[in-house]
Structure 1
Amino acid sequence: MPNHLDNGSDMPTVHLAWASSNAATGSLPDGSRVLVLSEAGCGRCNTCQLRGDNFCASPVLAGKDWTATIDVERALVLPLPPQIADERAVLIPFVARITRALRRSAEQGEGPVGIIAETELHPLAVKLGAHTGIEITTVHAAGELNRALHLSSQPRSMEQALLAIGRMGFVFTSSLGEPASALIPEYYHHMIVKESAIVGTGRPSRKDVLDAVEFLARGLVDQELVACTAMQDATSSKIAAQNHPASFPVSVTRLS
């Protein structure tokens, strides 16, 4: 990527907009759109690093319009494909976390990956490689949601699993080193599922982010994932408001 600064620096200037995600998009002075990886930071404070974000999180630095221009290392700036519109670019961090969860499950043996899906989507989940096993009903501040959890330790492919998740719901993965299966023993009639177990744990790697960009550019994640993201955010906010920041109750029964 060419240098866009006049001060002799080898770092391009990226305009970052305030957003509640851990991957930000911006634009270079030549107008090209880019994605800035979450390891970025201007060095003037460490708020973005603590939050796992890569945009300026300080109102003093960002200004009233919540935008900022910061210098970002060239290696951390990736061109954004034209197929990914701005409204879909906000999905990149969410898809990257899913990609990380799938990769950790498939390549590192960190336990099965589960898909929380609407009950009527059982056939589709099985077709895409999931194993029907446990039915759950989640109850939280937003009301009652009836969903089914399908466990799949070996998705037929990351693309198929990601497509299924995009259509059907969230991902259950390892939490604190425990496989997802340990979180849902058959004999439990009630359990607490940590929010950290949803959509994976830890910061996505560069490869996870690149894969997420590719999946979005190829249309493997449809717009329904936006609704999933919004619902998760709303649920998390209401849980936090009730002083339950890390869990929500789930009733578990075996499927016949």
Structure 2
Amino acid sequence: MLGAGLLAAAGLPATRAAAATPASTSVLISGSLASYSTFESKWNYLYPWGDSHNGSALMVASSSNHNHVSLSGGVLTLTSTPYVGDGFNYHSGTVYAKQQVLVDSSWPSWEVSGDFQAPSAKGTWPAFWLTGVNSWPPESDILEFKGSATNWSNTYKNTSGAWSNTLTPISDPGAWHTYRAVLKKSGSSNVQIQYFIDGVLKGTHTGAGFVGQPMWLIIDYQMEGSSGSPGPTTTTYFRARNLYLARSSS
């Protein structure tokens, strides 16, 4: 055991040889909707893989075209408009975070949240979700409305190799509601995911093999597909504010 003099020489408190390492929290996305320049420093337009995914909407937004991804007063608006051509029925907007979510030993805890006004009419398919960078699965859907006023919190895959789904009826999805997920490392390979809506825990799932798998965070306004068809014949909107992403070392 080191004496007080040796402890001092080593730069350690005289009362103990080593101090516990405090938990570190890093806020990765906050205030990103203040301006287009701030937004574009944290988010990319379209999907990580291109301009379409499963539904009937083609994503057309860019840094020079804000007709379908726009900012105003700290609110992000994704706009879908009817369109017929090239096999698509709509033009719409989707964005994804430049920061990937990676649950591992260095950062075993993550929090993802945002306030959303979500459309829920037949044919509208808004989502706030995580999906694998290098492979699929993993997937975690924090917000997903599929043509009705029921939010789907989904995880694929669970320890049985299947989907876990928590279905929550939402009174007036078009009003502001807060959707949040807390991801925590559970053992060597699994991740526990808690889904909250307006501060109330709605479901706890296990993501099997999620540890060490980087994931994209996507805000997606797709159309038809799993939400049914035909979809709306007029312009519709999916809005977000107070977007938040943070990770912790404990």
Higher percent of residues as helix? 1
Which structure has the larger Rg? 2
TM-score (norm 2): 0.26
Q: Bigger relative contact order, structure 1 or 2, given CA contacts below 8 A and separation 6+?
A: 2
Higher percent of residues as strand? 2
TM-score (norm 1): 0.25
